[in-house]
Structure 1
Amino acid sequence: MSATHPYVLDDDSDRPTSNEESEFDLIDYDSNDDEPEVISHHHCASSTSSAPNLVRASSLQPSEVVIGSYRLGKGLVIRPESTVELHGHLTHEADIRHSGDFLRVKYIVMNLETDEVRLCGHRMRRVKYLGQLFDWQLNELAIVLRIKEQDERAPLVAGLEDVNIDEVYRIRECMLTNKPYPFLSFRASGRLAIPVGMSQEEIKLQIFHAGRLTCRVINIQYVNQHGKSYSGIVRYLYAKEADKLSNLDQLMQVGASRKTAISIGVEDDDCVIVTKDCSTSRNRKHRRRAGSSGLATPRSKARFSSKRDQLTYGDVYCGVGGASQGALQAGYSVAWGLDKDDRAIEAYKLNHHSAYSFKMDAHDFPPQGISKKAWRVDVLHLSPPCCYWSPAHTQPGPNDQANYEALYTVGPILKKVKPRVATLEQTSGLLTNREHKRNFFMLLNDIGQAGYDLRYKVQDLSEFGLVQQRKRLLIIAARRGMPLPPFPKPTHGPPGNSLKGLITIADALLPLRHPGYEATTDPYNQPRFFTSPRTPYSVNSYLKGCITTGGTTAYHPSGMRPFTARELSLLQSFPRTYQFTGSKSEATKQVGNAFPPIMAEALYRSIAKTLKTYDQDLIGAENVEELFNNDEEIINLLSDDDEEIEILSD
């Protein structure tokens, strides 16, 4: 006996169950139904096109056509925007919660010579199969795209995949939404026939295999020529990417803001009310934006003065202030820095005397006795200690536990400060070391739970004018409703391209030859000579090795001595006049811990350009990629060198 019952679940989590593998029954795809309807017969655009109607990266074959639908049999018809479940690489049983991937179909392609059919669309995967990147909720999916690094097309175009029709297991109901969980989840999808007396686990299993699926997030990975991914985007779907709500769905969501009562069922005696706490709906500032191009067409000229409306900036784990110095050079107003190291925060005060200097543990944020106005900023930077995550960390250290825990202050601080944009800088080992991959995903999850979309990248800082080949993990996070700024494009490179040349040791140390500089009066530029000279090398070469808290294994090109603390600071791109505190070894530690200002400056200029174009109504929150990839000349109008810029309509 079966009856239509509400979804009565104490727990929506979808933790992985048994890994037992076996075959499950497949739908019979054989059918004698009518031939599919041919709706078009054309070649696909070239791979360099960014048109939204691309079928795939390569062109259609002469014998291929795009068709409007394909009948599987038993009344099942696949159409564009259908969602199909695919056979997994694992075998399955119907009594355990495992499944293959899914495909949101965009196009159906048939070969007229062979009658072979393939589906073109976006791959989706249950979030529980993506590690700790998202919370594991029942029937929640994520779009997963793997895109070549050099592919400059829009991700949803470049990420289209082909799937042979034989890989389809069944059709599923799936809703794409930009609303937070649990909106439009299986709980809001209406009725499901559930036999009386089912246990909680049996109900979950029924929902797993027959309930509505919901996709609200996207995970984009950019893959290099070796198939490795060191950059990506993790975000909620944009409104333009979400499905339009039906009248029923809209009705089900009415009033679902603080505490939602969801009743699914028709008989009064069967109806059980399930309550779910939801965050209150936020008042959103509505903006009038242009269409897909994202460019406004104002009736009059929009003006922006670079001398007003400075972006405010805060720096957590600031050290001596390398990131703050970069923000200052990019035109920001540095509001405050926070660090628990005595010497570091003392040096921070000397260099950023107009900013608050909070000497405290980040776990204790916010500071007591300071109004929210003082620490609420537009852009927030966080650089938790990286020693534990570094590839060079091969032996246990006394601060390992503290450094481990520091990474997880990021989410709570973001929730308190609520910056428009946040940046993070970490050792590349957090991403590249398999041992730390789980922690990397947990960090991204914390940022997402705080209400932010993000992009990440392992960046070689020499591409931005640093003398050393220093690879760091960079993250840009934008509060949902704000545009997600792109990473800046490299400014330096090897000979043979249009970029500036790579910086040499001679270039970096040039400020020491300034006529007004007196080395003898600088306590951090007093050389200590080797007892046995080493092999000299060219001053016009690049710095080998990496600057750490202990200095560097490289020595001065003369071969006569190590680099001084002042020289190391210049190699890290600090200004010659930057002040440090404590002994020479303490100053060296401060330099080694710093985020190089030259990279920070490039990063914050890109963020400032994005926020300024957004504030000027030139782009919407969802149009950043289109503007920066295809209309970069518009961005260039916002030159930092102009006192007043006029944005003209077409």
Structure 2
Amino acid sequence: MRPKDTASVDGRTYRRGKTVELHSGDFIRIMNILEDDYTGDTFLQGFRLRRLSQCRRLFDQHLNELTMVFEETNADIQTSESGSMEVVSSFEVLRIRDVILTNAAFSSFSCREDASNSMLPRDVLRDQGRLVCRWKLKVSIRPQSNGRQWIEKSVSGLTATEADVKFRLDDEHLRRRWRGITIKKGSCASWLRGERDFDLRERSLHRDLLTPPESDRVGRRTQRYTFGDAFCGAGGCSRGAKSAGLRVVWGFDSNLASIDSYAKNFFGARCEATPADVFLSVLNDNFCVDVLHLSPPCQPYSPAHTRLGKDDEMNEATFFAVGEIIKKSKPRVVTLENTFGLAQRRPEWMDAMVRFFTALGFSVRWRVLNLAQYGVPQARRRLVVIASWYVPLALQEC
């Protein structure tokens, strides 16, 4: 195969940067044009794009919106995107389409935004109107004897450098649209009165849990990221956040005994012994945090849950509070932990959760991990989700 700058086949001229629609319904963003040395056939190499309607309910459904699709058939999730380019024959091409890549949120630049399209029927717009790609969907696959198993999945918004020049926005501008001006190194710039003394007493009681170098470093830090813990229990995740130097601002759980323990361990944190719906009714700007953790009830989705329980309906309903908690607390980063059964036994619920994130403009990444590899004294498989607002999981930019 030899590369070419352009190629004309069946009256269509192909160039780098153009996008073609395939007979399969997918699209290819052309990055290279190749010609077979022996047959003279033309092949197009580029990134595969797919309509959001074909992506298992991971996105809100909008006409003519696309996502790039990357699939790695090995365990190395760090494979470069250039290695994910596909090669298709020009015989697979149905037509050339107008497709733009942008990092702007919907509905900027969409086909409906063009006034000349306002009166066109939906089927005409689908076949002829502008298409817009704002997302990348990546799946890492492990081949098995009985088929294939996914290792990790992620959905991320395009960055400014990945967007077309005429349709890119500054990433900082996008962050400000979500939660206003952000402060590097964290929103908490001071210590509460009595907080240092509380931490000193705590470290003196638990010297085996906090090594002196780490505790001293955290103790001297002034600028800190703020942390909120939804469905916090007694505060296991908040403890990890505090040990990492974050300022624990609030936590809530419906279990009164758990909140009583939580309040005694996190100085100055607002502790609410309340169900999620009641907590949402009092959530306001004072609950905004840099990092939000969510551990919604996992019993309905657990493989160990073999018969109906009295709280199943309430626990499932609680799941729908996730989107509103994110929307009102406006975090920079969200972490979520749940049973692996959510992803493997109830994929429709998993898709719904991812859609909570993408509907708000979050990039999200998820994987099932065996926590025994991280020091838990049992083989405990858990679903771990990390999300950041629009700029794909770039914590250094927070």
- After TM superposition, the score normalised by the length of structure 1 is 0.51
Cα 1:403–1:87 change in 2 (3 A) is same
CA contact (8 A) 1:383 1:425 kept: yes
- Displacement of 1:389 in angstroms is 1.0
Matched, 1:219 2:141: no
Q: State the partner residue of 1:438.
A: 348
Instruction: Give the equivalent residue in structure 2 for 1:385.
Output: 297
CA contact (8 A) 1:358 1:367 kept: no
- Structure exhibiting the larger radius of gyration computed from Cα positions: 1
Measure the CA separation in 1 of the matches of 2:221 and 2:290.
Answer: 17
Q: Secondary structure at the match of 1:224?
A: strand
Correspondences of 1:500-515 after superposition (within 5 Å): none
Q: Is the 8 A contact 2:75 2:151 kept in 1?
A: no
**Following TM superposition, by how much is the alpha carbon of 1:344 offset from its aligned partner in structure 2, in angstroms?**
1.5
Q: Distance in 2 between matches of 1:366 and 1:224?
A: 40
The structure-2 alpha-carbon separation of the partners of 1:232 and 1:282, relative to structure 1 and needing over 3 Å to count, comes to closer
Q: 1:69 is matched with which residue? A: 6
Distance 2:291 2:182 in 1: 22
Q: Structure 1 residue 77: deviation in Å?
A: 0.7
Give distance in 2, aligned partners of 1:283 and 1:432. Answer: 34
The alignment's C-alpha RMSD in Å is 2.7
1:233 equivalent in structure 2: 154
CA distance in structure 2 between the aligned counterparts of 1:396 and 1:345, rounded to whole angstroms: 27
The equivalent residue for 2:53 is 128
CA contact (8 A) 2:110 2:131 kept: yes
Task: Name the CA distance, whole Å, in 2 between partners of 1:109 and 1:138.
Answer: 32
Shift of the 140–392 alpha-carbon distance from structure 1 to 2, 3 Å rule, reads same
CA distance in 2, matches of 1:384, 1:371: 20
Q: Which of 287, 312, 325 is 1:400 aligned to?
A: 312
Q: Report whether the alignment pairs 1:329 with 2:247.
A: no
Matches within 5 A, 1:474-489: 474-481=384-391, 484-485=393-394
In structure 2, the residue corresponding to 1:225 is in which secondary structure?
strand
SS at match of 1:245: helix
Q: Secondary structure at the match of 1:113?
A: coil
Pairing 1:143-292 to 2, within 5 Å after superposition: 143-147=68-72, 148-154=74-80, 156-189=81-114, 191=116, 203-226=121-144, 227-245=148-166
1:362 aligns with 2:276: yes
Look up the equivalent residue of 2:54 and give its one-letter code: Y
2:82 aligns to what SS in structure 1?
A: helix
SS at match of 2:143: coil
Distance, in Å, in 1 between the alignment partners of 2:125 and 2:143 is 40
Q: 1:421 aligns to what?
A: 333
Per-residue deviation at 1:189? 4.8
Q: How many pairs align?
A: 354
> In 2, Cα distance between the equivalents of 1:353 and 1:181?
41
1:112 aligned residue (11, 16, 37): 37
**Alignment map for 1:562-641 (pairs within 5 Å):** 610-611=395-396, 614=397
CA distance in 1, matches of 2:143, 2:21: 30
Instruction: Kindly state the Cα deviation for residue 116 of structure 1 after the two structures are TM-superposed.
Output: 3.1
Cα offset, 1:331, TM superposition? 1.9
Three-state SS of the structure 2 residue aligned to 1:439 is helix
Cα displacement string for residues 539-565 of structure 1 (whole angstroms, at most 9, x for unaligned residues)? xxxxxxxxxxxxxxxxxxxxxxxxxxx
Amino acid in the other structure paired with 2:251: G
C-alpha deviation, 1:131, in angstroms: 2.1
Distance 2:318 2:70 in 1: 31
Q: Check conservation: 1:314, 1:336, Cα contact below 8 A.
A: yes
Matches within 5 A, 1:94-105: 100-105=25-30
> Do the aligned partners of 1:412 and 1:450 also contact (CA within 8 Å) in 2?
no
- Cα deviation digits, residues 585-604 of structure 1 (max 9, x gap): xxxxxxxxxxxxxxxxxxxx
Counterpart contact for 2:252–2:279, Cα < 8 Å: no
Checking the alignment, whether the CA contact within 8 Å between 1:426 and 1:472 is kept in structure 2 is yes
Paired residue type of 2:18: S
Take 1:354 and 1:286, find their aligned partners in 2: how far apart are those partners?
A: 23
Separation in structure 2 between the aligned mates of residue 425 and residue 286 of structure 1, nearest angstrom: 26
Confirm or deny: 8 A CA contact 2:15 2:33 kept in the other structure.
yes
Q: Would you say the 8 A contact 2:105–2:361 is kept in 1?
A: no
Residues 1:450 and 2:371 are matched in the alignment:
no
SS of aligned partner of 2:321: helix
Aligned 8 A contact 1:410 1:447 in 2: no
Find the partner of 1:461 among 324, 349, 371: 371
Match of 1:502 in 2: none
Match of 1:352 in 2: 266
How big is the shift at 1:118? 2.1
The alpha carbon displacement at 1:117 in A equals 2.7
Change in Cα spacing, 1:451 to 1:212, as seen in structure 2 (3 Å) is closer
**Quick check: 2:157–2:361 contact (8 Å CA) kept in 1?**
no
The structure in which a higher percent of residues are helix is 2
- Specify every segment of 5 or more residues in structure 2 that has no aligned partner in the other structure, as ranges: 170-175, 184-216
The letter of the residue matching 2:55 is L
8 Å contact from structure 1 (residues 230, 432) kept in 2: no
The 3 A distance-change label for structure 1 pair 484 and 418 is same
Distance 1:65 1:475, change over 3 A: same
Distance 1:134 1:330 in 2: 33
For residues 281 and 358 of structure 1, do their structure 2 counterparts lie closer, same or farther at Cα, with a shift above 3 Å needed?
A: closer
User: How far apart are the structure 2 equivalents of 1:318 and 1:367?
Assistant: 18
Query: CA distance change for structure 1 residues 166 and 439 in 2, over 3 Å: closer, same or farther?
Result: same
Amino acid aligned to 1:242: A
Whole-Å Cα distance in 2 between the matches of residues 284 and 360 of structure 1? 29
Equivalent residues of 2:67, 2:133 under 8 A apart: yes
How has the CA–CA distance of structure 1 residues 281 and 355 changed in structure 2, closer, same or farther, with 3 Å as cutoff?
closer
- What is the alpha-carbon distance in structure 1 between the residues aligned to residue 108 and residue 243 of structure 2? 43
* Offset of residue 318 of structure 1: 0.4
Unaligned runs of 5+ in 1: 1-63, 89-99, 195-199, 251-279, 288-303, 486-609, 616-650
* Residues 1:87 and 2:23 aligned together: yes
Contact between 1:317 and 1:384, CA under 8 Å: does it hold in 2?
yes
Q: Which residue of 2 aligns with 1:139?
A: 64
Q: Establish whether residue 317 from structure 1 lines up as the match of residue 231 from structure 2.
A: yes
- Please give the alpha-carbon distance, in whole angstroms, between the structure 1 residues aligned to 2:269 and 2:236: 14
State TM-score, norm by structure 2. 0.82
Distance apart, 1:367 and its partner CA:
6.4
